[in-house]
């Protein structure tokens, strides 16, 4: 598979790292390359995909000018557009994982005319303050044990080299990202190898999360999403509740939900055949057989 890498420059001068996989003209844009490239690389078998690192993330430029960060997730939306324009994509397919599952919807609202299809994987909820019923979340024994151990873990990591501290913490944190903690070994990316990721929590709490909390998407806003949306969500997701996936599929005008049982925040690890097959089918302009129209927040 042909791979090219480089940087493009966004409208405000920020340099964004990209990886283009495949030999043809790209049509699919996937943000947060560092975290999802290994997992979603198999999708490039019959199409060309552009993965890119978000601003101040991964291998993209480290930003010191606050004015280039203050808009939070809205900067991400504009960076999607910079990628689309750079590669001459007439109508883009977008795949957004985790909080980027929200960002791709914001893009589809603002740039409806150039959005072809949208895929959300483990998206956060449409409204940040929403709390779902217990059966729509996964506060299981693995999460309970992790939270109970967290104070001691943080104490044990005090005084260590920042990279070593981040490595050890990541080894624990990634057990939450899969339904079976034994599958954590299948998570191959190493965010602690990159300076931007070492300081991500500051960027998240001070910039990204406030911009997400300030959103107040209305039914009229969501009605602007003309593109079909496939929402993929693991029932055992601990980072973004399964209820969020149902919520999106219920609110969006042309969306269906692919429920992945026995999967958490990285469902392609635990059911690759279902996830990859469904994404390919959807990008080929058909709904996967397992995708359902959602008529209620509560599953039947």
Q: One digit per residue, pLDDT tens: the chain, 300 residues?
A: 789 999 999 999 999 999 999 877 779 999 999 999 999 999 997 789 999 999 999 999 999 999 999 999 999 999 999 999 999 999 999 999 999 999 999 999 999 999 999 999 999 999 999 999 999 999 888 888 888 888 887 887 787 788 998 888 898 899 999 999 899 999 999 999 999 999 899 999 999 999 999 999 999 999 999 999 999 999 999 999 999 999 999 999 999 999 999 999 999 999 999 999 999 999 999 999 999 999 999 986
User: Residue 160 has what pLDDT?
Assistant: 79
Could you tell me the pTM of the whole model?
A: 0.95
Query: What CATH number should be reported for the domain whose range is 3-283?
Result: 3.40.50.1820
Cβ(19)–Cβ(1) below 8 Å: no
Parse the chain into domains and list their residue ranges: 3-283
User: Residue 175 has what pLDDT?
Assistant: 93
How many Cβ atoms are within 10 Å of 185's Cβ, its own excluded? 12
User: Residue 154 has what pLDDT?
Assistant: 82
User: Residue 96 has what pLDDT?
Assistant: 98
User: Residue 210 has what pLDDT?
Assistant: 97
User: Residue 8 has what pLDDT?
Assistant: 97
273 CB contacts (<8 Å, ≥6 apart)?
Answer: none
Tokens of 260: 């992945």
Can you tell me which residue has the tokens 């557009």? 81
3-state secondary structure the chain: CCEEEEEEECCCCCEEEEEEECCCCCCEEEECHHHHHHHHHHHHHCCCEEEECCCCCCCCCCCCCHHHCCCCHHHHHHHHHHHHHHCCCCCEEEEEECCHHHHHHHHHHHCHHHEEEEEEECCCCCCCCCCCCHHHCCCCHHHHHHHHHHHHHHHHHCCCCHHHHHHHHHHHHHHHHCCCHHHHHHCCCCHHHCHHHHCHHHHHHHHHHHHHHCCCCCHHHHCCCCCCEEEEEECCCCCCCHHHHHHHHHHCCCEEEEEECCCCCCHHHHCHHHHHHHHHHHHCCCCCCCCECCCCCCCC
């Amino acid at each position: 598979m042909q791979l090219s890498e480089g940087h493009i420059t966004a409208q405000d001068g920020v340099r964004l790292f990209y990886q283009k996989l495949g030999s043809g003209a790209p049509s699919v844009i996937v943000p947060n390359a560092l975290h999802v490239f290994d997992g979603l690389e198999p999708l490039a078998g019959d199409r060309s995909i552009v993965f890119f690192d978000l601003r101040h993330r991964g291998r993209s430029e480290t930003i010191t000018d606050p004015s280039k960060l203050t808009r939070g997730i809205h900067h991400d939306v504009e960076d999607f557009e910079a990628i689309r324009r750079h590669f001459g994509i007439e109508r883009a397919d977008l795949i957004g994982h985790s909080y980027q599952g929200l960002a791709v919807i914001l893009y589809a609202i603002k740039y409806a005319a150039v959005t072809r299809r949208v895929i959300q994987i483990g998206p956060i909820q449409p409204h940040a303050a929403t709390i779902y019923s217990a059966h729509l979340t996964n506060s299981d024994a693995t999460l309970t044990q992790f939270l109970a151990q967290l104070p001691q873990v943080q104490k044990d990591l005090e005084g260590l080299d920042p990279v070593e501290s981040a490595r050890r913490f990541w080894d624990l944190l990634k057990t939450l990202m899969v339904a079976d903690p034994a599958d954590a070994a299948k998570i191959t990316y190493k965010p602690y190898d990159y300076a931007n990721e070492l300081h991500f929590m500051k960027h998240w709490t001070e910039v990204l999360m406030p911009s997400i909390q300030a959103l107040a998407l209305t039914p009229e806003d969501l009605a602007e999403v003309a593109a079909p949306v496939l929402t993929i969500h693991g029932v055992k997701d601990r980072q973004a509740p399964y209820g969020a996936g149902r919520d999106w599929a219920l609110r969006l005008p042309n969306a269906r939900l692919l429920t992945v049982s026995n999967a958490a925040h990285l469902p392609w690890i635990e059911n690759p055949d279902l996830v990859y097959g469904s994404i390919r089918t959807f990008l080929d302009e058909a709904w996967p057989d397992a995708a359902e129209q959602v008529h209620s927040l509560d599953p039947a």
